[in-house]
Amino acid sequence: MMNSARFSVGMQGIAVSERAYQQAVGFARERVQSRPVDGSARAAVTIIHHPDVKRMLMTMRALTEGARAVAYVAAAASDAAHQHPDEAVRRQNQAFYEFLVPVVKGWSTELSIDVTSLGVQVHGGMGFIEETGAAQHYRDARILPIYEGTTAIQANDLIGRKTLRDGGAVARAICAQIAETEAALGKHGCTAFTAVQAQLAKGRAALEDVVAFVVANAKSDPNAVFAGSVPYLKLCGIVFSGWQFGRAMLAADAKRAEDPAFHDAKIATAHFFAEHILSQASALRDAVVSGGAPVNALTAEQF
Ligand SMILES: Cc1cc2nc3c(=O)[nH]c(=O)nc-3n(C[C@H](O)[C@H](O)[C@H](O)COP(=O)(O)OP(=O)(O)OC[C@H]3O[C@@H](n4cnc5c(N)ncnc54)[C@H](O)[C@@H]3O)c2cc1C
């Protein structure tokens, strides 16, 4: 029951992010402000032409698409865990689904705060005006990382029941699957595919380091390990999203002729995600592996 409730709140995060994105795109297509930096027009243009507005919209789009893909993979694993005829496959899918649930809940709801906040930012001063509805999404998103277990509670579950209980076996099995996607991306050769492969390899290596750190130190130094629980959860969210973007761009490439505009946008979004978001994986790794001591340095009285 709790898995289902947590999964559903993760979907709420994805849904409010999608709504905020669509509304921000609509506003950016209409709002006229400033001339383009490349001098392509002498008059002011709609703000969707400004590179920083595109960056904000791409961030909103990429975070939302990545989280949605991870949630769908989790949902498919849940179906297989219940319906697959082979008992061993059912068990494998159940373990995979259970590992993903705190990530779907924690990551999709944390990012919904960032995405809906960017939605306000795209609107500029109008974002602060109630009538646009942009601030309503931000406010609605703010509860999501709190109810059905705060992000820290999801992250404690990720470390305790999902990583330590099996000595990191499921986490390492996921990393092995990610490495297979990297290999498939490497065979392609185009710039976007090579870039995603490189960032995915770095992200997967960061995740392997963190899993090894958690497993090795949880007993001897639990305060240091749990100080990195939320960065670990975020690292999983970023790397799993990057993994699904890798799979999505391979699928988009295979079907490109059917709808070039849609599939090219998918590939461009995957490339953006790799360079702007997946690239943050090594910083999260450092926060977990080296950041425990400074988190715990102050006594309660020193705050
Ligand atoms: C709008 C709304 C609707 C709700 N609806 C329902 C409902 O229908 N049914 C229901 O049962 N509940 C509901 N709740 C309650 C909700 O589930 C809790 O507020 C939530 O689980 C957080 O618990 P808490 O408020 O006791 O916060 P606390 O547990 O006091 O947490 C405060 C802070 O401490 C952190 N923290 C606490 N323990 C740990 C720990 N072990 N490790 C690390 N950090 C920790 C938390 O992450 C958080 O940042 C609702 C809450 C709200 C605001």
Averaged pLDDT, 87-101: 98
Ligand 1 contact, 147 CB (< 6 A): yes
Catalytic (active site) residue 148: yes
- Kindly tell me if the per-residue pLDDT of 280 is higher than 90: yes
Look at ligand 1, atom 16, and give the residue with the nearest C-alpha.
Answer: 147
Residue 189 has what pLDDT?
86
Residue 115 has what pLDDT?
99
DSSP tag of 228: T
Whether the full predicted model's pTM is greater than 0.75, yes or no, is: yes
Catalytic residue among 110, 148, 182, 208: 148
Q: What is the pLDDT of residues 117-134, one digit of tens each?
A: 999 999 999 999 999 999
- Kindly tell me if the per-residue pLDDT of 232 is higher than 90: yes
- Half-sphere exposure at residue 42, Cβ-oriented, CA atoms within 13 angstroms: 0
Residue 228 has what pLDDT?
98
- Mean pLDDT across the chain: 97
Averaged pLDDT, 243-271: 98
Look at ligand 1, atom 15, and give the residue with the nearest C-alpha.
Answer: 147
Ligand 1 centre to CA of 146 (Å) is 6
4 pLDDT tier (thresholds 50, 70, 90): very high
Residue 112 has what pLDDT?
99
Residue 291 has what pLDDT?
98
Residue 273 has what pLDDT?
98
Residue 2 has what pLDDT?
87
287 pLDDT tier (thresholds 50, 70, 90): very high
Averaged pLDDT, 47-70: 98
Residue-wise DSSP of 244-272: HHHHHHHHHHHTGGG-HHHHHHHHHHHHH
Q: Tell which one of 143, 147, 233 to mutate to probe ligand 1, the residue whose CB is within 8 A of the most ligand atoms.
A: 147
Look at ligand 1, atom 13, and give the residue with the nearest C-alpha.
Answer: 147
Structure tokens at 33: 């402000």
- Kindly tell me if the per-residue pLDDT of 37 is higher than 90: yes
Ligand 1 contact, 229 CB (< 6 A): no
Alpha-carbon distance of 82 to 16, in angstroms, equals: 29
Percent of the residues in the chain that have a pLDDT greater than 90, as a whole number: 99
DSSP tag of 35: -
Ligand 1 centre to CA of 101 (Å) is 18
Alpha-carbon distance of 209 to 214, in angstroms, equals: 9
Contact 52, 150 (CB under 8 A): no
Contact 279, 200 (CB under 8 A): no
- Kindly tell me if the per-residue pLDDT of 1 is higher than 90: no
Averaged pLDDT, 168-191: 97
Quick one: CA dihedral 20, 128, 56, 233, positive or negative? negative
- Kindly tell me if the per-residue pLDDT of 51 is higher than 90: yes
Contact 196, 242 (CB under 8 A): yes
Conformation bin of residue 31: beta by default, left when phi > 0, alpha when psi is -120 to 50: beta
DSSP tag of 126: G
Q: What is the pLDDT of residues 72-81, one digit of tens each?
A: 999 999 999 9
